[in-house]
Structure 1
Amino acid sequence: MPASSNFQEAIRQAQSSALVGPNVVNKALPYVGGGMVLTAGGVLGGMATMASIGYGAFNTLSLIAIIPWFILFFVAQNAANKANNGTALPLMATFSLLTGFTLTGLVVQAIAVAGAASIGIAALATGLTFVVASIAGRRMSDSVGQALSAVVGLGLIGLLIAMVGIFIAGFFVPGIFAATNLAIAGFGTVLFVGMAFVDFYTMPRTYRDDQFLAGALGMYLTYINLFIFVLRLILALQGGGRRD
């Protein structure tokens, strides 16, 4: 899952304490929530599709769906950054639905390995993080906000390097995915918890009020990634980690 392609730019712009969009967070939050609801709908649709065509065929379809998923992300982000909200909104809605569709395999596996309660636990952890981050993140001082932004930015780079390295090593070292799954899941969870706090600090310093959809897209990706890594952490603790 992409975290946010302009995250480093957000950090750079947040070096100034001046607020360029004092109301952007409040404007963005309803769309973040709506995106999460659409993602849940995408998962349900994916599960229905899997039941009708079978697990193997669905896996192939899910892999194919990643291509338009990436295209939608970049097109929606470009429109949102330009405050072209009439174009960005339907693109983001479709992106959220397709995100849920591509997450179906992970959700089904989590239910099979750890039970349906694992989905509730991951959703609860994500929701609690949002509540705490929405309070503390808005009140962070510039020194704390800038320091946390830098740490999270470096952590994101490290996570991407580690995941790519493990993927490549998997072709030569059998079992490396299972051996490193818990560490990656744990680190990813901590990283996106930190990013949840950073979002509330950087958004009003990065986006104008009319760019609320751009802020919503970045925050949506933070919480979707947090949900994914919490779910993977539960799977790893249950011994049900998998290669992807």
Structure 2
Amino acid sequence: MANTTNFRDAIRQAQSSALLGPNVIPRALPFLGGGLVLTAVGTYGGLGMLGNNPGLFMTTFWIALVAEFALYFVVRGIAERGNNTVALPLLALYSLLSGYTLSGLVAVALGTSGVGIQGVGVAAIACGITFIAARSIGSNLSDKDGLALTQTVQIGIIALFVVLIVQLLFTVFGFGTPSWIEIAISGVGVVLFAGASVVDFYILPRTYRDDQNLLAALSMYLTYINLFIFILRLLIALNSRD
């Protein structure tokens, strides 16, 4: 995790730097929770569309994916300017679109023997447990360990997304991904985003003011959505081995 000879002692150290937004995370949590609920609604709608009209779902999936990607930058830019009144409904729309694009993966999980609705529930519960543990650990990290973990996780996530792009290219050109590689990628993703959840509780109060709670909520939302995705991918890969 961090380069220290005694992590238990390091985690007990008092924070030495002043917090920019000591209350930003508590203020962000209601928006995080609301966003996750809207994501569930979007996923439910996507599953309904996929079951009733698969052809239309694929068309709307790509439209939603492009819109979701563009909307992220729009929401972030507006929230950075402090215009939460405009940013909030856009964040709600972003959460719905995120759920809609997530429905394809959830459908695969539901159709995979050994995963099903129980696996989706396990992934969601695992995210909740990670949140509880991350809040306790990340809020008490020393600056030394917090910065070391932040740098490690950032480098790891960049490397992970490079690998995912390569994997996507292989898929586009007709090369399948061996199950053991998929398991490895998914396992690494779970570890990295679990680490990112700890980083959030360390770095967000040092990055955002209390009135920038929507930015903090967006950051945590992305962490837990990605954690959910990689846990679900791992469960699917483990139960789809030849």
| TM-score, shorter chain, exceeding 0.5 | yes
Is there any run of 5+ residues in structure 1 with no aligned partner, and where?
1-15
1:36 deviates by 0.4
Offset at 1:211? 0.5
Mapped partners of 1:94, 1:42: distance in 2: 9
Map of 1:3-42 to 2, 5 A cutoff? 17-42=17-42
Q: Which one-letter code corresponds to 1:30 in the other structure?
A: P
Q: 1:132 to 1:179 in 2, by over 3 A?
A: closer
On the 8 A contact 2:196/2:223 being kept in 1, the answer is yes
**1:194 is matched with which residue?**
195
In 1: Cα distance, 2:136 partner to 2:188 partner:
23
TM-score (norm 2): 0.88
CA distance in 1: counterparts of 2:196 and 2:218, whole angstroms: 14
Whole-Å separation in 2 of the counterparts to 1:127 and 1:112: 24
Residues 60, 173 of structure 1: alpha-carbon distance in 2 compared, 3 angstrom cutoff: closer
Residue identity matched to 2:47:
M
Question: What is the aligned-residue RMSD (CA, Å)?
Answer: 1.7
Q: Secondary structure at the match of 2:153?
A: helix
Whether the 8 Å contact between 1:42 and 1:99 is mirrored in structure 2 is yes
Task: Confirm or deny that 1:147 pairs with 2:145.
Answer: no
1:110 corresponds to: 109
Which AA in structure 2 matches 1:35?
Answer: G
Q: How many residues align?
A: 225
1:80 offset after TM fit, Å?
1.2
Larger radius of gyration: 2
1:169 offset after TM fit, Å? 3.7
* 1:198 to 1:104, Cα distance in 2 relative to 1, 3 A: same
- Give the corresponding residue for 1:162: 163
Alpha-carbon shift at residue 134 of structure 1 (Å): 1.0
Bigger mean CA offset, 125-134 vs 64-73? 64-73
Q: Distance in 2 between matches of 1:26 and 1:220?
A: 14
Other structure's SS at 2:139 match:
helix
Give per-residue Cα distances to partners, 1:16-47, cap 9 Å, x unaligned.
93311111011001111111001001011112
**C-alpha deviations, 1:189-214, integer Å up to 9, x for none?**
00000000000000000001111100
Give the fraction of aligned pairs with identical amino acids, expressed as a percent. Answer: 48
What letter is aligned with 2:44?
A: L
The reply on whether 1:225 has 2:226 as its aligned counterpart is yes
Shift of 1:50: 2.0
> Which consecutive unaligned segments of at least 5 residues does structure 2 have?
1-15
- Post-superposition CA distance 1:81-136 (Å, at most 9, x none): 12210011000000001100111111111011021101100001000000111111
> 1:64 and 1:173, CA in 2 relative to 1: closer, same or farther beyond 3 A?
closer
Q: Which moves more between the two structures, 132-141 or 161-170?
A: 161-170
Cα distance change, pair 240–37 in 1 and its aligned pair in 2 (3 A): farther
Taking the TM superposition and a 5 Å limit, the aligned residue runs for 1:115-130 are: 115-130=116-131
Check 1:167–1:209 CA distance in 2 against 1; reply closer, same or farther (3 A cut).
same
